[in-house]
Amino acid sequence: MKLLPTVLANLFSRPATRDYPSYVREPFARTRGELVNDISRCIFCGTCARKCPSQCLAVVKDSARAEGSWSLEFFACVGCGVCVEACPVHALSQKTTHRPVAVARAVITLRAALPARPAKKDKPADNAEPAGKDEPTEKDEPAG
Amino acid sequence: MSTTTTTDPANMNTATVTAATIDPTTTNPSTTNATGINAAGINATGINATTMAPAGLLAEAARLKALGNRLVTLTSVELDETHMEVLYHFDKGLALTTLRVPVEKGGTLPSISGLFFASFLVENEIRDQFALTFDGLVLDYQGRLLNETAHTTTSSPFCRYQVRRVDPEPVPGPGPGPETEPAPDETEAR
Amino acid sequence: MARTVIPFGPQHPVLPEPIHLSLVLEDERVVEALPTLGYVHRGLELLAAKRDCTQMIQIVERVCGICSMLHAMCYCQGLEQMLGLEAPRRARLLRVVWSELHRLHSHLLWLGLFADSMGFEALFMQLWKIRERVMDVNEATTGNRVIVSVNVIGGVRADLDQGQINWIRETLVDVEAGIKNLQATIMHDPTVGRRTRGIGVLGREAAYELGAAGPTLRGSGWAQDMRQLKYAAFDELDFEPVVETAGDCWARGSVRFRESLQSMDLVRQALGKLEGQGVGGELTVKAKAKPEGEVLTRVEQPRGECLYYLKGNGTLFLERVRIRTPTFANIPALTAMLPGLDFADVPVVVLSIDPCISCTER
C-alpha cells in the first residue's frame, strides 16, 4: 500500500525506459568504446602490447621488409584504455560507441610501413619504465 | 631455513610498529615499506608479524581469542620449492595482529576451526590450492571444496613448484582429472 | 523425524552469483546448511604471476563487478604503501567520490534484489530505475558504467571539472528524492516487515566470533567500519558507521539503506572539497622503485571489510596477491544463521548477507 502513490505516478507518466533501437542515447564524451588505431601514425614500438592487461594486442616489427603489423584480438579486449594512455604517439584512441556485435571471433590486423627513422625523437621509454608510469609523455611528437 | 620458535608477547596487539619482516629466504629484509605512511594512515605499513612454530599455534590463537580478537583470514605464501608459510591475521578494534607460521610444503598444520569457526572455509581453500592439510577441521571437504573431481592428493594448483604426495592406496577417480598447471615462467619480465 | 537434503543453488533467482548450499531439512525447518563453492573460481590470485603489478589493477577490478573500484583502490593503496608513495589529495578525494558512488549503486542493487527475493517486483524496478542515474554518472565521469578503471598506482587517471561536479550534485538530488520516496515502503511496509523482522537473527557475540563483516556485522550492533581507518580522503570527511542492533534481515537492510544516504552525503562532502581545491593539480605520483616487501591493507567495500596482502620481490611481478573479500567472511556467519529457519525464509536470509560469490571465489 505504501507504494501506491509511486505506482499511480508511474501509471500516468512517461516510461522510464528508452525505446531502443528507435531512439539511441547520445554517448557520453568520455565513454570508452571501440579501440581504433590510426595505423599511419603507429611506430610499432609495442608499448600497447606490453601494457595490455588482457594481452590482446600483438605488435610485430619486420625490419627486413620495413613493415609492421598491429593486431587486436577484440573479443579479449576489455576496453580499459591503458594502451591509449600508453601510446607515445597517440595513434590509439577509443570511440564513444561500442563495437557492433560480431558472430565469430577474429583478430583485426593492421599493417603499415615502418616509419622512416628520424633522429632520436621518437624513442619511447618502454622496458625501463618503473611500475606505475601510465601517462603518455606530452613531449613526444607523432612520427613521420 | 631456520625457524624461530620464540613468541614475542610484547609485540602483540600493537598496530603502529613498522618492523621489517622476518623472511628467512631473502637476504635483505626490506626497508622500503617502512616509509611513506599516508597522512593519517593507520593501515599497517610493513607487517608486524610474529613468527611461530605450528606447535604453538593453537595456544596462541586461544590467547588472542581470549583477548577479544577475531580472525580475519589466513594467507598462504609459497616461499620456494619446499617451504611455505601461512600468515594468520587477527583483528581487534581495527588493529591487525599477524602470526607467521612456516611449514613444509605438503605438510600439516593444526586447524584453528575449533576456536574460530570462520576459519574452516579458508583452511579448506588453502588445502585445495596449496595442498596443505589441517588437522582437526570441523568441516572438512577433503580437498573438494572448489573442485569436486580434483585429485586431492596431487593437486596444488596455486603453487609454482608443485607438491607431490604419495598416497598409500590408489585414488579411484574419473581418470586423470583437471591436473596441475605447469609452473609459469617467472623470468618473463618484460 | 525424516531429514531431506535440498540443494539451494547454484542457480537461484535470489543469487547474483552461483553458490551451492545443501540444506538439511526436517519437515520444512532447516537443521543444517553446508556451503559448496567453486562455480566461479577463476584463480585470479594466481594470475599475479603472469601479469605485472600495473596490469594487475585491471585484473583485480574484475574480482567483483559491483565493488570493482574498491578492489582496485585497495590494491593501489597497498602498492603505494609498499613503494612509499602517497597519492595526491585530489586523487584521494576523487577516490572517495567514486568509491562512495560504487557503494551507493551496490546498495541500491541490493535493495532491489532484496525486494525481488520477497516477490516485490515493483519496488525492485523502482530501485533499479534510480540506480540507473548513478550508472550514468559513472559512465560520464570515468568512461564505463560498471568497471570504471580509474585507479592507477599513485593516484587516479580521470578528473572532474566543475561542470561534472554540478551535474553529479543534481543527479544526487534526484537519487536522494527517489530513495526517500521509497523509504516508507522499504523500512515500514508491514508485508516487508513480516518477511524480514525477526528472521535470520545473528546475535551480537556470534556475529563477532564468526568473523562477519560489513552490514552483517553492523546490523548486529558492532560499530566497525574500515573507513574508520581513514584511508583515501576519509581523514578529512565526517563519517560515523551506521549501526543497528536487531541482527535480523530487517536490520541489515536498514543498515544498507542508511548507508546509501550516508554515501551520498560523503560524495557531497568530497565534491565540496574538490571544488574548494579548484580544477587541475596532480592526479598521480610516479613510482620510483619496484615493489618489494609485504604489506597489508584494508578498505570497506559495500559488503564489508576487504583485506589485501601483497608481497613484492623486487621485480615488476608481485610474488603474492592475497585477497580476502567480505562475503568470504560472511559465509560462515550464514551457515550459522540458517539453522532453525523455515525453508521459505532461506532465500531472503541468504540474500541479506549480500552474497557476492565472485568475490568469494576470485
Q: Does B161 touch chain C (CB under 8 A)?
A: no
**Is C87 close to B120, i.e. CB distance below 8 A?**
no
- ipTM surpasses 0.90: no
Q: pLDDT digit of tens for each residue in chain A (144 aa)?
A: 778 888 888 889 888 888 888 888 888 888 888 899 988 888 888 899 999 999 999 999 888 888 888 999 988 898 888 999 899 999 999 998 888 888 888 888 888 888 776 544 444 444 444 443 344 434 344 443
Mean pLDDT of chain A: 79
- Higher-confidence residue of B147 and C116: namely C116
Mean pLDDT of C326-352: 90
Residue A137 lies in a domain: no
Contact C284 A134 (CB under 8 A): yes
Show which of residues 2-31 on chain C sit within 8 Å of chain A, judged by CB atoms: none
Of B150-159, C92-101, C353-362, minimum mean pLDDT range? B150-159
Give the CATH number, domain containing residue C105: 1.10.645.10
- Identify the pLDDT of residue A116: 73
**Residue A16 lies inside a defined structural domain of this protein:** no
Model pLDDT, residue B37:
36
Which has the closest alpha carbon to B120: C9, C329, C351? C329
Interface touch B26/C313, C-beta < 8 Å? yes
Residue A60 is assigned to a structural domain of this protein:
yes
C345 vs B164: which has the higher pLDDT = C345
Contacts of C72 in chain A (CB under 8 A): none
Partnered with residue A72 across adjacent β-strands are A57, A108
**Which residues, numbered 153 to 182 in chain C, qualify as contacts with chain A under a Cβ-Cβ cut-off of 8 Å?**
153-154, 157-158, 181-182
B96 touches chain C (CB under 8 A): yes
Mean pLDDT of chain C: 89
Return the C-alpha cell found at A54.
588482457
Q: Please, are residues C41 and C34 in contact by the beta-carbon 8 Å criterion?
A: no
Higher pLDDT, A65 or B30: A65
Answer yes or no: is pLDDT of B147 > 50: yes
Q: What are the residues whose beta carbons fall under 8 Å from the beta carbon of B174, sequence distance 6 or more? A: B149
**Which domain range does residue A38 map to?**
25-109
The answer to whether residue A121 is domain-embedded is no
Cβ separation C59–A80 shorter than 8 A: no
What mean pLDDT do residues C291-320 have? 89
* Contact residues on chain A for C79, CB-CB shorter than 8 A: 131-132
Chain C contacts in chain B segment 11-50 (CB below 8 A): 20-21, 23, 26, 30-33, 35-47, 49
Neighbours of A113 (CB within 10 A): 13
Predicted pLDDT of residue B33 = 35
pLDDT band at C70 (very low <50, low <70, confident <90, very high): very high
Q: Is the pLDDT of residue C126 over 50?
A: yes
The string of pLDDT tens digits covering residues A37-54 is 988 888 888 899 999 999
Least confident of B14-28, B141-155, C8-22, C322-336: B14-28
Q: Is residue A17 situated within a structural domain? A: no
Section B62-70 average pLDDT: 89
Q: Which residues on chain C are in Cβ contact (under 8 Å) with B49?
A: 294
**Section B129-153 average pLDDT:** 76
Find all residues with CB under 8 Å of C207, minimum gap 6, and list them.
Answer: C216, C217, C219, C220, C221, C222, C247, C333
Chain A positions touching C58 (Cβ under 8 A) are 53-54, 78, 80, 82
Residues of chain C with pLDDT > 70, as a percent, come to 99
Residue B23's pLDDT band, with cuts at 50, 70 and 90, is: very low
Chain A's closest residue to C147, CA to CA, is A80
Q: Which residues in chain B are contacts of C82 at CB distance < 8 A? A: 32-33
**Residue C312 sits in which domain range?**
4-361
Q: Which of B125, B76, B126, B74 is nearest to B103 (CA)?
A: B76
Task: Report if pTM > 0.80.
Answer: yes
C336/B73 Cβ within 8 A: no
Helix (H), strand (E) at residue A137: none
Residue A90 is part of a domain; what is its CATH number? 3.30.70.3270
For the cut 70, the answer to whether the pLDDT of residue B28 exceeds it is: no
8 A C-beta contact, residue C146 and residue C98: no
| Pick from C360, C245, C355, C234: nearest CA to C300 | C234
**What's the mean pLDDT in B39-65?**
72
Q: How many domains does chain C have?
A: 1
Q: Give mean pLDDT, residues B38-49.
A: 49
Supply the pLDDT for residue A133: 38
Q: Tell whether B84 lies on the interface with C, counting CB pairs under 8 A.
A: no
Give the residue with greater pLDDT, A65 vs B27: A65
Structure confidence at residue A130 (pLDDT): 42
Instruction: Using pLDDT thresholds of 50, 70 and 90, give the confidence band for residue C109.
Output: very high
In a domain, residue A135? The reply is: no
**A79 to chain C, closest Cα gap in Å:** 9
Q: Longest C-alpha distance within chain C, in Å? A: 71
Nearest to C153 among A54, A94, A132 (CB): A132
The count of CB pairs under 8 A between chains B and C is: 153
Query: Tens of pLDDT along C150-208?
Result: 999 888 888 888 889 999 999 999 999 999 988 888 888 888 889 899 888 888 888 88
Position with higher pLDDT, C75 vs B180: C75
Q: Which residues of C touch A32 (CB under 8 A)?
A: 143-144, 149
B190 or C134, which is more confident? C134
Contact B163, B106 (CB under 8 A): yes
Percent of chain B with pLDDT over 90: 0
Kindly write down the DSSP assignment for every residue of A37-85, as one continuous string. Answer: E-TTT-----HHHHH-TT--EEEEEETTTTEEEEEE-TTT-----HHHH
Indicate whether B171 pLDDT > 80. no
Chain C nearest-CA residue for B159: C46
Domain count, chain A: 1
| C133 class by beta-carbon count within 10 Å (0-12 exposed, 13-18 middle, 19+ buried) | middle
- Position A132 scores a pLDDT of 39
Q: What pLDDT was estimated at residue C52? A: 87
